[in-house]
Chains A and B, each alone.
Chain A
Amino acid sequence: MSTPFAPGTFTPRPGAGAPARMLAAQAATELRLALRNGEQVLLTLVIPVLLLIGLTVVDVVPLPEPRIAAVTPSVLALAVMSTAFTSQAISLGFDRRYGVIRRLAATALPRWLLVAGRLAAVLATVALQMVVLVLLAAVLGWRPPAAGLGWALLLVLLGCAAFAALGLLLGGTLRAEIVLAVANAVWFVLLLAGGIVVPLERLPGPIAAVAALLPSGALAEALRTVLTTGAAPGAGPVLVLVAWTLAGTALAVRTVRLR
């Protein structure tokens, strides 16, 4: 009987791949899948783009003029939350359900690279969002102070860290259906009452106080500060984001099982 497998084809040559190659392959796969998934594209790109245009041209939320200057930081914060938290949590929850994590955990891919690959894909998606949204905002007349752009970049990275830690925590601990429900509910609540669409000073007092302590409120408020005035963000929002990052990471390390 002829065999398609010549002698020596499977002679063992085991060994782990180079970490950089594993990271690149993992991140590229995650990114391609995110950009191919219609629901994720809706959440991470279509809705932010529609909100950027809608809130700028339609006066549904009272905002200072020029409206684009107030809307853009809010939408940038929303984009970060949508990708690093909501989309990340949902995809992780379902990847666990579909045995993807178990499949990858059976290879030589270390756990930290598994997480790093996902985070790299999140950062790449956020970078794409920023390019698209900033260019669109510029077309709509947005002219931010140059001094604030560096701060904005740092805040976006800090926001990614805080939301990604929480996304991993949620997606890595609960059942996929519950993750889907909770992640979407949290997204919707934070969008409306978490200081993103409606600035903190326009929210009712108690809600504003709570929203200021949430990563959504802290990120949106800090982005509004740096992108409208060009000044450094206040220590408060930065500390809030750092605290959420540390707390989310610590809890995720203790509770998430990537197998």
Chain B
Amino acid sequence: MAVRGLVKCYGSVTAVDGLDLTLAPASVLALLGPNGAGKSTTVDICTGFATADAGEIRVLGTDPAGAPDALRARIGVMPQGGGAYPGVRAGEMLRLVASCAEHPLDPAWLIDVLGLGGCARIPYKRLSGGQQQRLALACAIVGRPELVFLDEPTAGLDPQGRRLVWELVDALRRDGVAVLLTTHLMEEAEALADHVVIVDHGKVVAEGSPTALTTGGDQELRFRARPGMDVADLATALPAGYHAAETLAGRYVVQGRIDPAVLSAITGWCAAQGALADDVQVARRSLEDVFLELTGRELRP
């Protein structure tokens, strides 16, 4: 899949503003971004549910505009919020979707392996959010597609359900399926994605492999100590270029290259303040750190 210069506006709001994406076969691309960043709009356009105002989009060699039947037979889509008749049973819904594919997976097996066997006869409206989510995932993959779009596939899932979905996405990639997933879970992107694209205000603000995005930059030293210490004073005790902050009361972060001398300077400064630096941890930046750095910490509507 290749997207170049994608633009989509809703009235005066530009939802996607010149976005570029490339997804190779047998790989997982994670699209990250705050609420309203343009992730779902991008998925909608790539799956033919919306049309672009500008840009070139090729999905499996086809323009998805209008979602031609031939393309829809080759892709699997898990829309946000799923979608099923309120009164339909999980097994019925999956068999209906499976009937639309030439060589579908066995719906009964899929229901069972996704932990829906015990509720295959329960109406959709009475399934839990996690069960509905797993059914939506089953509907997306039952047709044995080449390319799968998963819009927040683990939203509302418990840790066991999330782990199962991760195993499934891993198996899809192993078997040659390309996967585009949107998610708010940085841990999920780090665990699954070969390539991460962070979008904000409809634009790509960073991209690369999870490793490339989280290394090469600063490290972090985190510690706990008495709340309210003067972090500006701490910064002056460190070499130039280091950044210190109290992220939550009594929780401090120092960003920069952490070596023994810096570690010693920090613990020494704490001692000078009459405080013990407790629970000291040195770590490379997480994807979440990168994400917050790029998209800010303020809440999005």
**Which residues from chain A sit less than 8 Å from chain B, CB to CB?**
1, 3-5, 7-18, 21-22, 24-26, 29, 32-33, 36-37, 94-95, 98-110, 259
Residue of B nearest to A95 (CB): B85
> Which residues of A lie under 8 Å from residue B88 when comparing CB positions?
29, 33
B87 with A3: CB separation less than 8 A:
no
B96 with A29: CB separation less than 8 A:
yes
B72 with A99: CB separation less than 8 A:
no
Smallest CB separation, A131 vs chain B (Å): 24
Say which size band chain B's interface belongs to: 35 or more
Residue of A nearest to B71 (CB): A108
Given A16-B69, A16-B102, A98 and B85 touching (CB < 8 A)?
yes
B81 with A5: CB separation less than 8 A:
no
Beyond A15-B101, A16-B72, A33-B87, 7 additional pairs, beta carbon < 8 A: A10-B144, A12-B144, A16-B73, A26-B96, A105-B72, A106-B77, A107-B100
- Whether a CB of chain A sits under 8 angstroms from the CB of B131 is no
Residue of A nearest to B113 (CB): A4
Residue among B72, B73, B177 making CB contact with A10, cutoff 8 Å? B177
Closest 5 pairs (CB-CB, A-B): A99-B83, A15-B102, A103-B83, A25-B99, A5-B171
How would residues 154 to 178 of chain B score, 1 for a CB under 8 Å from any chain A CB and 0 otherwise?
0000000000000110111011110
Residue among A18, A100, A102, A107 making CB contact with B49, cutoff 8 Å? A102
Residue among B84, B85, B140, B141 facing the most chain A CB atoms (10 A cut-off): B85
A108 with B83: CB separation less than 8 A:
no
A17 with B101: CB separation less than 8 A:
yes
CA distance A150 to B45 in the complex (A): 50
B100 with A102: CB separation less than 8 A:
no
- Whether a CB of chain A sits under 8 angstroms from the CB of B79 is yes
> Which residues of B lie under 8 Å from residue A13 when comparing CB positions?
102-103, 144
CA distance A17 to B168 in the complex (A): 24
